[in-house]
Amino acid sequence: MTEAEIQMEIMAACNRAETRAWRNNIAKLQVRGRWVQFGIPGVGGSDLLGFHSITITPEMVGRKVAVFLAIECKSKTGKATPEQKNFIEFVKSRGGIAGIARSASEAITIINEYKSC
């Protein structure tokens, strides 16, 4: 499977129930002689960004909270860059869900491991 195919599979698996993920396109474009960078947060940003909704209990019974989600998609042999690893660690250090996935099942495991903490 190519990285693009893995990414589509992971996005489809994440867009069920309480999770949503969208493609994070990172690019540069020259506009009127100036470079404009697109994507979050630029170099190192994960391929898929979104959220996982959780219900807080008992103090906030019934209130849903969206937890930021960042999934870096890689093929079996793909390696994350230092910038990608830094972004993943940054998201995790701030309470978000983040990781590197090589399949839809690995992406779901990243989400489920967060929920079990």
pLDDT band at 117 (very low <50, low <70, confident <90, very high): low
Indicate the CATH number for domain 3-115. 3.40.1350.10
pTM tops 0.85, yes or no: no
pLDDT digits (tens, 9 = 90+) for 11-64: 999 888 788 999 998 888 899 999 988 888 777 889 999 998 877 777 767 777
pLDDT higher at 62 or 117: 62
pLDDT digits (tens, 9 = 90+) for 67-110: 999 999 999 999 999 999 999 999 999 999 999 999 999 999 99
Domain extents in the chain = 3-115
H-type alpha helices, the chain: 3-14, 82-93, 104-115
The dihedral through the CA atoms of 65, 70, 76, 81 has a sign that is: negative
- Burial label for 87, CB within 10 Å (0-12, 13-18, 19+), is buried
